[in-house]
Amino acid sequence: MASKKSFGCFTFPAIVFISIVGSGVVQAFLPISSFYAFALLLLILSWGLGKIQKTEHKKFPHRYFVYSLVFLGVIIGFRFLLSVELPDPKPKTADIPEEIYREKLFEKGDSIVLLSQNRSWKDNYGNPYKANFSVREEDYITSKNEYINYTKRNRFQNWGRLYQYLSTTDATRLDLILDKLLEIKTSQQLNQFEFAEMVVTFIQDIPYALVFRAPCGSADKYEESSIREVLEECPSCCIGNIPYGIQNPVAFMGDLKGDCDTRTVIIYAILDYFGYDVAILNSEYYRHSILGLHIPAKGNYKIHRGKRYYIWETTNKYFTIGTLPKNFNNMNYWDIVLTNN
C-alpha cells in the first residue's frame, strides 16, 4: 500500500506567503492593521493544517501552529525594539518648539509618533482647564506639504474659499484634539456657550506669532511698528515661507505659531465640527481677522442673512465675546467672508 505524501519542507514558508498575500483580503472585511490581519490568517492556516495532519495521525500535528507562534513572537520582539525611541540630536521636524514634545501611541497595531502639548488655561470667567493635546507627526508633515502643493496648483480668489479649504481638509486630522475637547465638555458638563468659551480661550492662550509668505527677518527690516514690536520682544515668534501667510490648523497645533486668521480658521473648524453656527470676519482696513458666532450674547455683532454673529477676538487673552480692541471696533470695516450656514 502506497504511503501518503507528506506536506514537504516548504509548507511553513508557503503558509507565511499565503498569509501575507491574504492579509489584504482580511482587511477588506475587518478594521484591523495589516500586521494583525497577517497574524490572524497565519494562525488560522497553521491551526487548520494541524487539524488535517492530526486526522492523518502525523507526529506533532500542530507543529506549524507552534512555528507560527514563535515566528510572530520574533516579529513582535523586533517591532518593540524598533519602537524604542533613541536620543536624536537632530529633530526630525526643525520648526517644532520646546513646548511640543514627541511621544508614541499604538494605533490599530502600528506605532504612531505624536506631537503633544500639555496645556493648562483659564477661560474669561476663571474656570480652569487642563489637558494633553496631540496631532500625529505624519499628519503634521503631510498636511503642510499638501497645503503647499495645492496652493501652487490653485489660486484662491478670496479669503473665504481659502479658509474653507483649510478647515475642510484638516478637520479629520484634528481628531485627537476634537476627542480631547469632547472629553472636557463631557466631564465638566459644559453648556453650549461654556464649551465655545473653553475652545476660544484654549486658542487665545497660545502666544501670538507672525506668519509670513516670505522668510522671517530681523525686527529692523520691517517698517510696520506692530511687526517690529513682536520681533523685538520675541525673535522666534515668527514662521515664514507659508502660503498666503496663514498656517493650516494641523500645522498650527504642531508648532503653536499662529496669527489672526490662523487662529480663526482652527476655531471655525472646531466649532463647525461641534455643530455651531460660526463665521469668520475680515477687515482689509484693519488687516485683521476675527471669529463670529451666532449664539445668545451681548456686544458687537455683524448681521448676515438676518442672523447676528457676535464677534470674538482670538489673538489675545481676556477678550470676551462681543468685545474688540478700541482701535479695531468700528464694525463698518468688518465683513463676513465665510459661514457654515
Provide the mean pLDDT of the chain: 88
Mean pLDDT of 6-34: 73
What band does 7 get if pLDDT is binned at 50, 70 and 90? Answer: very low
Top-confidence range, 56-70, 78-92, 98-112, 291-305: 291-305
Residue 106: pLDDT over 50 = yes
CA distance 192 to 296: 10
Residues 282-305 pLDDT 10s: 999 999 999 999 999 999 999 999
Q: Residue 228: phi, psi to the nearest 5?
A: -60, -40
Q: Residue 18 has what pLDDT?
A: 86
pLDDT at residue 9 tops 60: no
Residues 6+ apart with CB under 8 A from 10: none
- Phi, psi torsion values for 280, nearest 5 degrees: -120, 130
Taking only the tens place, the pLDDT of each residue in 154-178 is: 888 899 999 999 999 999 999 999 9
Q: How does residue 4 score in pLDDT terms, banded at 50, 70 and 90?
A: very low
Is residue 90's pLDDT more than 60?
Answer: no
Is the entire prediction scored with pTM above 0.85? no
Lowest mean pLDDT: which of 7-11, 46-50, 97-101? 7-11
pLDDT at 17: 81
Query: What percent of the chain is predicted at pLDDT more than 70?
Result: 89
Cell numbers 506536506: residue? 7
Q: Please give the C-alpha separations between residue 245 and each of 159, 213, 276, 313, in angstroms, as whole numbers.
A: 11, 5, 26, 19
Q: Please say if the pLDDT value at position 86 is more than 50.
A: no
What pLDDT digit, counting tens, does each position of 192-239 carry? 999 999 999 999 999 999 999 999 999 999 999 999 999 999 999 999
| Alpha carbons 266 and 150: distance in angstroms, whole number | 19
